[in-house]
Amino acid sequence: MLPSDIDFFFAPPTVKWEDHQTPDGTVSVLYLLRREIQDCLIGDVSLPESEVVPAKAPHRLFATAMVIFAGIDLLSKFTTGSDSESEAKRRFLAFCPAYLGTTSDEAGVLWSLRNGFVHSFGLWDKREKRYLSFALRDPNGQGRAVYIDTASQYWLVCVEELYAAFTGAVGKYQAKLSTDSALQRDFAGMFPRYGVIAVQVDP
């Protein structure tokens, strides 16, 4: 693994496409994913991530969350050095507390919403037999991505706070990667398969 691989992988979404893409059409998967999240949320990739929330003109909220969940799936492969399909849930549930700062129960709600969105574009949690709620931002102004109230059977996910938690997780992983040899080894193992993608058309 070269330091340039890490720099390429973590290129911020504000970097111009033509400045990032290599001559053979390769771009960082994480770069592309972060641009897609931001474009889904506000329809614009020119703002630094720290200025995206609160969204002045929120765009496609379901799509935003779905791409964030794809980002969690992606980074959880890197942080564990595993891409086993049978371990997807375990990786997701471990990543959320470690990097997004959720509790284990909140990570479970995010996993339920991920599955509902990705598999049926809905809010029904078949396994737990519950409906989830989804909002643009935390209605209580506490900056929380997930609310759980089991007494009233209420589970809420807030997309702006989820976005902020994910961008924070990217930064946290990047910082840890600079000094943690085990993470560096796992990154090197995942990067050739999941770190880059060839895109032949401009976004």
What are the pLDDT digits (tens) for 165-202? 999 999 999 999 999 999 999 999 999 999 999 987 65
Report d(CA 23, CA 168) in Å as an integer: 30
Of 132, 196, 135, whose CA–CA distance to 163 is shortest?
Answer: 135
Total tally of structural domains belonging to the chain: 1
Range of the domain at 70: 3-101+162-198
Asked whether residue 153 is assigned to any structural domain, the reply reads no
How buried is 93 (Cβ within 10 angstroms: 0-12 exposed, 13-18 middle, 19+ buried)? Answer: middle
Q: Is residue 186 part of a domain?
A: yes
φ, ψ of residue 75 to 5 degrees: the values are: -70, -30
Percentage of the chain modeled with pLDDT above 90? 74
d(CA 183, CA 181): 5
Which token pair is 65?
């969350």
pLDDT at residue 1, rounded to an integer: 47
Over the stretch 40-97, which tens digit does the pLDDT of each residue have? 999 999 999 999 999 888 889 999 999 999 999 999 999 999 999 999 999 999 999 9
Do residues 37 and 166 make contact, with C-beta atoms less than 8 angstroms apart?
yes
Q: Residue 105: which of 144, 77, 161, 75 has the closest Cα?
A: 144
The Cα 54–Cα 17 span in angstroms is 25
Q: What 3 state SS string does 30-97 have?
A: HHHHHHHHHHHHHCCCCCCHHHCCCCCCCCCHHHHHHHHHHHHHHHHHHHHCCCCHHHHHHHHHHHHH
Q: What is the dihedral of CA 63, 164, 48, 24, to 10 degrees?
A: -50
Whether 125 is in a domain gets the answer no
Percent of the chain exceeding pLDDT 70 equals 97
Arithmetic mean of pLDDT, 118-126: 85
Q: Is residue 120 part of a domain?
A: no
Would 150 be classed as within a structural domain? no
CA distance 86 to 10: 27
Q: In this structure, is residue 87 part of a structural domain?
A: yes
Q: Are 133 and 123 in contact (CB under 8 A)?
A: yes
Whole-number mean pLDDT of the chain?
92
pLDDT top residue among 124 and 195: 195
Q: Assign 193 to helix, strand or coil.
A: helix
